[in-house]
Structure 1
């Protein structure tokens, strides 16, 4: 070991001396980059050819770089012709870049395995490219929020009072589910979250990818492929693919810090990040990034309208049988107790939870053999996010859930989460027999731990319950091995070029549920637990609730450790048949150990009608494998209705109870994708893309609603089990999604020192349920069929997210100053009650415009300052329906929405409800 360590020290010393010798021979070249009109060009990349040594120009277009006297500088910028300039010993070089309308758009790699990338208006599929500059332009510091306000087809909002979903934002593309979009990092499959969304949020029953664990400072750009690509990338790529490219430059250190808060004085944010790039001689680079973010909660709850806090029923209502005079007297007593105890009727938190995130990412590569181009690379990161969110308040009258000797005024349980995420990509790439070869291994792990505080287990003897519990952990792990080959052939008869790509993949998934401590799920000290008398006056005794209030812990019977593997092979052909016609064909075969085989294919083409006008389209089929979380998630929870103890099971599809409903094992969702679009360039400075699409999905997986013993069939299936309800996953519905994407960009030079970029983008989509898949048992009972996928779930799937989103932005720069103005229109959403008899509380929330403004100044070369407002006009969604009889003064209290009781004012499915957010940011570069 000592010899090995000495050898490493010697190697480092040798490399250091070599690097020192090289630096000692270098010269410093300074200069200024302008366009054809003499306007300064900031942000232009200046590299020493053949190395990773480079820099970028400042706000005045100036640069300084230490290079070899015989070096060649490569000067490049989007929208300009790249220039290569020989230094020849000079120390001062000025560069004038010419516009190049063929490079006005970013070159993309997502959606094609061609050896050379194409501009995103020259591809067969629509791709959005979001640069690092756009990512840092506004106040959003989470990846999902950044994408929501930049990419119209992408949607994500923070949820509240939804257990684990409070801490892992469900994110969707083209109106489909969180698990129907595939996320890549540096082109490699990213692991999903351990969390399965089981609450009433967008994507209920689905498992998404937690993109917020990736620091924005680590991101070079994000490519959003808006098209089904399962034939190219495998499972999940039904709606499209999001490829996050990590930074790979060596231009020094960049750091920033953002502070802000909402107009209400809450939701404080402090965020700091940094990125550093270093060259490894002429052979490689190391790029490291880190982020710390602390976001405080904001609360937009309303007053609890329960008429009685201390003297009422468990729901806060008047006991039955009282006259109006008796109700008034009871109300007076209750008001006196409220005043005496200082009870605050704003008793829950509705809004974003407290979260703290810290983590780091690495991206590095090193050329092992320059002659063959053999390169080793590594990328990955470690992130921890802790959070604290509230559940529903337990009133002092809820005697089955409260121990008054511990909480005489009731209590608000808090769900504390710890999300740990680790990933690492390692690989080798080079040339083998004329093919570009890439061998990689990608490992990812995501875990979500629950700790419940300010709580109790009401079933324990009075005064003995702890007030905090460890409630268990969810874990998901994935390891993927990829081997791919690609080659561009140019000497093929008839066709201009042919790019051939093929390869294979082997993946292992693992899902675990770890039980909580006994007190988090235990039912007292015996099988029955503590006996209580309900506050409603009913003398019939009942049992107190078992487990920690707010979130009952996972039980040993819930614990699981399941794995599966899959093997895949793919072939991808892309050819410029002629100078005008580009055709792409892809096919993929997969075999999963838990459900079998799948074969998918795709045909795409682009045809240039005129030099600046082309049509493109694709047809293909895809699939999504059921996640392990959906296959094996099991949970037992205790719920109460009118003081009655109710055990509810969430069972997996291997459970005999699920099979008793006629529901078989989960199988893959199958899709058919169609798209047709056009791309155009108008007046050289304007690019336009319009793409229409249709996505048909069969056997879509949903989480059923709760089946209760009130139904004779359910009662027979549950038999003597001590449970009153059950729910499960099933391939229950077939859907069709149709939509239209429009993107237009224009870049204008208004004078020697001013520039303007205009963007208009929109997505319009509509999802409809075309059919249901159940079983003979469920079909024979209409009540069972309606519960499998009730009208509330259908509304959430069809109308629970904006059916349209329009993004308009203008970025103006004048000398050292810039202004960014953006307004986003979030289309209407709808909610429906599960019970058709309560359809009168169905609601449509109207479309709203949300406007952001940022003003910036490049004070000196290394320092820029920004101030801004998100949601400049303090726009909120429409308010939720409030029952006029559901108020604290009413003597005829209605229980139509007893859970809400006036505390939830807004829906969180459109764009959130934090209101205006003011912020300041400092950017440093070295």
Structure 2
């Protein structure tokens, strides 16, 4: 039995000991586990042996074949290609969002999807996306901290599930199932490069199992990569007097990244009725991302004698991600039980080099430590489940209940004094002592889940969950779902649920003052901008109120068709209503009166922003997934998968503007903020995949159509609507003998780029930034790659 939401253990020493001790154990030789898609679900259900065809909610299962049939080793990139409901753009020049890029499910906020690993709640990243990207204001899980080498398969529940799993499960749940067992292993090296000659990538990954005796096992997975940056910036033609006029000075594209990740998964037999299990990870990712090019001249004066030709500030970040989950599970009579502790932490250490503090002139350092962000989560869970024989039902009633206690903390540490004093370091000013601090909260919850087949055709489930948070009180969620099979070939399913998402500690307490660029009178102008915690005196002076949890209502209705064994289709329509949705406010360009008010409180800024329960939204859409298998001669086969998502977000209500802002002719939630949440992601996405297997050969083709999207501005005439984009990915592989496998492929074979950014009102920064960071497939062009793998 595997339960799905158990958590937390504050044991970094135990994690390190487990990983180090495991290195001396011998590996058992066996063939590589099969990559076929599994059909037994563990997500969204507590019943034993529940299969995808019996599920009352739509669940996508992504196997090893789909995960590895891409040139990318980033998990979020792969999910964005194989799942039409997932959107993963690649922002550039967005500070920390370049290093930790957020993914969306169903066009909602990145932190409105819950991520589990082996059914346990995953901790969020410490990074808050505060620039003008999709997912602005979110602090989601860093999916790219989880190496593909460690994953057996992924289950994506496309349904509200807060009643089952708690906060964040509004858009759905991504449950990452790790590889397990002592048998089998593989090692692989891969190389790739873009057509333009940049973005070279070398990836090494390996996984293997170890026999611990008496049915116990330990499995390790390691992955390391070096990915060079890409650059699609245009030449700088702003000022003929500049020493580097006409040169490409900006770096606009993917950052330079060097991830190193280690995962383990293990199980030990305690006795015939009890197993001990543990899994966790330690990872480090170094990223170098470019800020905005600083010209040599500021007007007619030299900006700094340290860089007489100008300079490009480079942000160096190190993300440290670690987790440990340990627990016991077993049986006591008819009851199945699971008790676990889970600890997770993400630290984001930020530095910058190749820059100056202009106020320090020639005495300025050229490298600065900007500060550190740390997010931690500790969770205890105890879960029970059993089957009851109930007269009149065609099968057993599965009852599950449990309790959870979770503690979270968020900390900001200040940077070097030189990074924030005066004008601060160019490219990103450091966190100041006034920004620094540590905040925490705890919550306790209890849940009940009932599932039963009432007849051979009709099944249903009920779930309820009550939570009590130390910072905003109590909330209760419920869910009802049902499925009716009219025949073996045709069934209907549906769900109705309420849900919630607690405001994250980062959204409540993140604070910094830094230089941002805003379009003022048609000019891209630097301005000191303060991001203030909602309970700070500065935010309160601008009308801030304490954050409330987001409240959601989910409805879905689905159709399942399987007219014959090798063909199946599901169509699921959904509606998600979210009240009091949390957004990051507009950049409030302050008039002199408000500047003076904030200056009296020690905040010397020209603009301000904070988080607020800004809007009520409605999301409507439909998902279609269809599969067809053609059995050929000699056990060859051809598999087709067609998938489609259509999604529409709209605003139902906008919160009243604070009186102090109205009096100063400012809008807390401006047009751009509203429309970014509604039209910034593609309205639809279509994909068709074909997989051909013939003996030792395999081939795969994937064509994807990314639908139209809009990058909004505060003036409607400046909005840009981007055309749909068709992308073709192809790959193939061959097995050489029993153990070797060679693979090669091309992503974006037809070398398609998104539309270029319009020059209207200089939104493309004088042609220097020609593409939008909202583009769902990035803007790097064709990518070639090859891999060599050895399995045992």
The two structures share one fold, judged by TM-score above 0.5: yes
Give the conservation status (yes or no) of the 8 Å contact 1:130–1:221.
yes
Q: Let me know the Cα RMSD of the aligned residues.
A: 2.4
Deviation per residue, 1:483-508 (Å, 9 max, x gap): 00011223545453200000010000
Higher Cα Rg, which structure: 1
Q: Which residue of 1 aligns with 2:676?
A: 796
Structure 1 residues 742, 778: CA separation in 2 closer, same or farther (over 3 Å shift)? Answer: farther
Q: Which deviations, in whole Å up to 9, do the C-alpha atoms of 1:95-116 show, x marking residues without a partner?
A: xxxxxxxxx96211101122x1
Q: What's 2:409 paired with?
A: 510
Match of 1:572 in 2: 449
- SS of equivalent to 1:796: helix
Residue of structure 1 in register with 2:266 after alignment = 364
Could you tell me how far 1:280 is from its partner in structure 2? 2.5
Gaps of 5+ in 2: 1-20
Matched-pair contact (CA < 8 Å) for 1:565–1:593: yes
Shift of 1:780: 4.7
What is the correspondence of 1:93-172 to structure 2 with a 5 Å cutoff? 106-114=39-47, 116-172=48-104
Partners of 2:445 and 2:467 within 8 A in 1 = yes
Cα deviation for residue 250 of structure 1 reads 2.4
1:444 to 327, 344, 357: 344
1:419-438 residue CA offsets vs partner (Å, 9 max, x unmatched):
00000110000112421100
Match in the other structure for 1:769: 651
- One of 439, 453, 461 as aligned partner of 1:562: 439
Please state whether the residue corresponding to 1:809 is helix, strand or coil: strand
Q: Say whether the 8 Å CA contact 1:402–1:410 is kept in structure 2.
A: no
Residue 180 of structure 1, CA deviation: 0.2
Tell me how far apart the structure 1 counterparts of residues 713 and 204 of structure 2 sit (CA, whole Å): 43
Distance 1:172 1:639, change over 3 A: closer
Q: Retained in 2: the 8 A contact 1:708–1:714?
A: no
Give the distance between the partners of 1:390 and 1:667, measured in 2 at CA.
Answer: 36
- SS of 2:310's equivalent in the other structure is coil
SS in 2 for 1:222: strand
Conservation of the 8 A alpha-carbon contact between 2:268 and 2:275 = yes
Encode CA deviations 1:620-650: one digit per residue, 9 max, x unaligned: 1000000000010111224588999954321
Give the number of the structure with larger relative contact order, counting CA–CA contacts within 8 Å between residues 6 or more apart: 2
1:217 has 2:83 as partner: no
Aligned to 2:539, what secondary structure does the other structure show? helix
Q: Distance in 1 between matches of 2:514 and 2:300?
A: 15
Deviation at 1:201, TM superposition (A): 0.4
1:917 aligns with 2:783: yes
- Alignment-derived partner of residue 897 in structure 1: 762
Partner-residue secondary structure (3-state), 1:466 = coil
Preserved CA contact (<8 Å) 1:605 1:616: yes
| Pair 643,408 (structure 1): closer, same or farther in 2 beyond 3 Å | farther
> Hey, what's the Cα distance between the residues in 2 that align with 1:788 and 1:668?
19
Partners of 2:276 and 2:601 in 1: how far apart? 61
TM-score by length of 1: 0.80
CA distance in 2, matches of 1:253, 1:423: 23
SS of 1:833 mapped into structure 2: coil
Which residue in 2 is equivalent to 1:283? 215
Q: In the TM superposition, what whole-angstrom CA distance separates every residue of 1:654-686 from its partner, at most 9, and x where no partner exists? A: 112322333310010000000000112122111
Residues 435-490 of structure 1, C-alpha deviations (whole Å, 9 max, x = no match):
11000011000011111000111011x31011000000110000011100011223
The answer to whether the Cα contact below 8 Å between 1:121 and 1:689 also exists between their aligned partners in 2 is no
Tell whether the 8 Å contact from 1:252 to 1:278 is kept in structure 2 after alignment: no
CA 401–257 in structure 1, closer or farther in 2 if over 3 Å, else same: farther
CA–CA separation in structure 1 for the residues paired with 2:300 and 2:77: 40
Confirm or deny: 8 A CA contact 2:31 2:791 kept in the other structure: no
1:548 is matched with which residue: 413, 425, 441?
425
Distance 1:723 1:864 in 2: 58
| Secondary structure class of the residue paired with 2:762 | coil
TM-superposed CA distance for 1:249, in Å, is 2.6
Instruction: Say if 1:225 and 1:240, in contact at 8 Å, map to a contact too.
Output: yes
* Deviation readout 1:283-302 (Å, 9 max, x if unpaired): 22111000011110010011
**Counterpart position of 1:682:** 563
Match runs of 1:279-428 below 5 Å: 279-310=211-242, 338=243, 345-370=247-272, 373-398=273-298, 403-428=303-328
In the alignment, structure 1 residue 194 sits paired with structure 2 residue 76: no
| Partner secondary structure for residue 631 of structure 1 | helix
**How many angstroms apart in 2 are the aligned matches of 1:646 and 1:351?**
24
> Where do residues 524-923 of structure 1 align in structure 2 (5 Å cutoff)?
546-638=423-515, 646-710=527-591, 721=602, 722-775=604-657, 777=659, 780-781=662-663, 783-784=665-666, 787-834=667-714, 836=715, 839-883=716-760, 896-897=761-762, 900-909=765-774, 910-923=776-789
2:757–2:763 CA contact under 8 A, matched in 1: no
CA distance in 1, matches of 2:233, 2:39: 44
The answer on whether the counterparts of 1:583 and 1:603 sit within 8 Å (CA) in structure 2 is yes
Partner Cα distance (1:209, 1:491) in 2: 41
Q: Distance in 2 between matches of 1:54 and 1:605?
A: 45
| Equivalent position SS for 1:741 | strand
Q: Is the 8 A contact 2:43 2:175 kept in 1?
A: yes
What's the offset of the Cα at 1:308? 3.2
Unaligned runs of 5+ in 1: 1-11, 20-51, 59-75, 79-103, 311-337, 524-545, 884-895
Which of 376, 381, 388 is matched with 1:477 structurally? 376
Alignment partners' CA distance in 2, 1:780 and 1:388: 41
Structure 2 CA distance for partners of 1:716 and 1:387, relative to 1, 3 Å: closer
SS in structure 2 at match of 1:207? coil
How far, CA to CA, are the matches of 2:505 and 2:220 in structure 1?
Answer: 33
Say which is worse superposed, 574-583 or 656-665, in terms of deviation: 656-665
Note if contact 2:561-2:569 (Cα within 8 Å) is conserved in structure 1: yes
Match of 2:53, SS state, is: coil
Secondary structure, counterpart of 1:463 in structure 2: helix
Q: Is the 8 A contact 1:469 1:517 kept in 2?
A: yes
Distance (Å, rounded) in 1 between the aligned partners of 2:628 and 2:108: 30
Q: Distance in 2 between matches of 1:678 and 1:700?
A: 30
Secondary structure of the residue that 1:108 maps to in structure 2? coil
Q: Contact (CA 8 Å) 1:707, 1:714: kept in 2 or not?
A: no
Q: How far apart in 2 are the matches of 1:162 and 1:616?
A: 42
Q: Counterparts in 2 of 1:168-183, with a 5 A limit?
A: 168-183=100-115
Distance 2:139 2:643 in 1: 28
**CA offset at residue 832 of structure 1?**
2.1
Q: TM-score, normalised by structure 2?
A: 0.93
